[in-house]
Structure 1
Amino acid sequence: MIDLYHLPPEGLRLNGTTAQLALEGDASLRDLSWSVFALASDGDVFLEVKGQALWQGTCSRCLAPLDRPLAVESQFLGSKDPDLVGRGSHQLGSQDLDVVFLPEDNLDEAELVREQFELQAPMRPLCVEDCKGLCPSCGKNWNKGPCHCRPEADQAPSALNRALTKALAGIKLDPES
């Protein structure tokens, strides 16, 4: 834990390694090395997070396992002031640091590192840019060749889509409501 409001004048740097760290969904990080720097700044706290890890997850189309290097380097200002309004004439511009609200006096550096990697992790990772995905009927990975199922237009999701489109075609929405 970092005591944010009792930092040494030169700041505080913490370094660490983590063998495995679970992220949201089925993704995880392996061989994570990180550094957190905290420096008091006019009643607020300047924070810097750097790290490298091997991101492990699955392709969002074909579910193949993936390993990708992932690096994080983020800087932001932490403040106890939830709205940062009334700071004289200073206004944040597009080149300024992001500001985060820190309601507590202590900050869990491991959680901070996990959050920063979570923000950098791919949202819809693909094994290859033109991944063909899985057959919705038999589950065959189309990247490894075609299957012998009916063409996609005859499959249930498409039939359901056609039925819904037909059912909704007669509904008119009142723009006044």
Structure 2
Amino acid sequence: MLDLLYQNISRYIDLSEEEFSRFASPFEYKVFKKKEMILKEGDYCSFEGFVVSGCCKVYYLNENGFEQTLYFAIEGWWITDINSLINHVPSILNIEALEDSEVLMISKKEKEHLYETMPQVEKLFRMMNQQSSVGLQRRILSLTGKTADKRYVEFLKKYPGLEQKLTQQQIASYLGITHEFLSKIRKKISLGK
């Protein structure tokens, strides 16, 4: 379980075995059952979570009450509502386990303590936030500038194999289209058009 966390952070910083042990010690291991809510809209987010196994969905309900999925967090991804966590405001996001999931969670207070006691941790999260900003920019550009067909192909590349685990409705929510339109796209692609 900690091996995956170590691999994830090693992309950004080098830690000795002892340093990694100090880094990992404040993380709390939690198991969430399929359909269990990890964060609900209106609650205050007090954590950042690292998905060890399973799949989570980060979404909000738009003004018409329809679900809009921001992203799916699969093994090795992080989950949080960064606005709620940083600004201590009620969350507008929901985070739900789509299947039984294991998550390592760290509180804001513990993360701040790591910043103070391990300067390289601040570098780690700065670099991760930069990568997250790049991902967010790409997601916005895709939603505003690409056809649904292209967004679907991007989804398949970004989340290989996840399509079999999700409902058509969940994928359509991520793509910003109806599930009926997604059916047409799938049919068109299967016919090679």
Fold conserved (TM > 0.5)?
Answer: no
Q: Whose Rg is larger?
A: 1
TM-score normalized with structure 1 length: 0.24
- Higher strand content, 1 or 2: 1
Q: Which of the two has greater helix per residue?
A: 2
TM-score (ref. length: structure 2)? 0.23
